[in-house]
């Protein structure tokens, strides 16, 4: 019970393979586009995060400096000259 493979069978398989390869290529391009979009979004988020961290560090530094100045002003009058 062997099945005879004809030229038309082989040709049809080649055509199906070619169609699948085209679809795979299309999906790969779409995936690449999505990766690029995600990369762009991540870069924007990182820039915003860096800016927020810089601002917070500056604010915390200001608070620490003011707190230190406050404590110095409390202690200074009690110190011997």
CA distance 33 to 51: 27
Q: Evaluate if residue 53 carries a pLDDT over 70.
A: yes
Instruction: Using pLDDT thresholds of 50, 70 and 90, give the confidence band for residue 49.
Output: very high
Indicate the Cα dihedral angle 18, 21, 27, 30, nearest 10°.
-90
Question: Rounded to the nearest 5 degrees, what angle is found at the Cα of 48, between the Cα atoms of 47 and 50?
Answer: 65
Instruction: Using pLDDT thresholds of 50, 70 and 90, give the confidence band for residue 1.
Output: low
Q: What is the mean pLDDT of residues 15-24?
A: 98
Phi, psi of 78 (to 5 degrees): -85, -10
Looking at residue 80, its pLDDT comes to: 75
Indicate the Cα dihedral angle 16, 18, 20, 25, nearest 10°.
-170
């Amino acid at each position: 019970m062997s099945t005879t493979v004809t030229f038309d069978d082989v040709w049809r398989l080649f055509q199906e393979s070619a169609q699948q390869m085209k679809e795979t290529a299309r999906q790969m391009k779409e995936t690449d586009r999505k990766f690029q979009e995600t990369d762009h979004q991540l870069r924007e988020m990182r820039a915003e995060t860096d800016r927020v961290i810089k601002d917070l560090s500056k604010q915390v530094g200001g608070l620490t400096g003011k707190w230190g100045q406050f404590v110095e002003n409390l202690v200074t009058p009690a110190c011997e000259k």
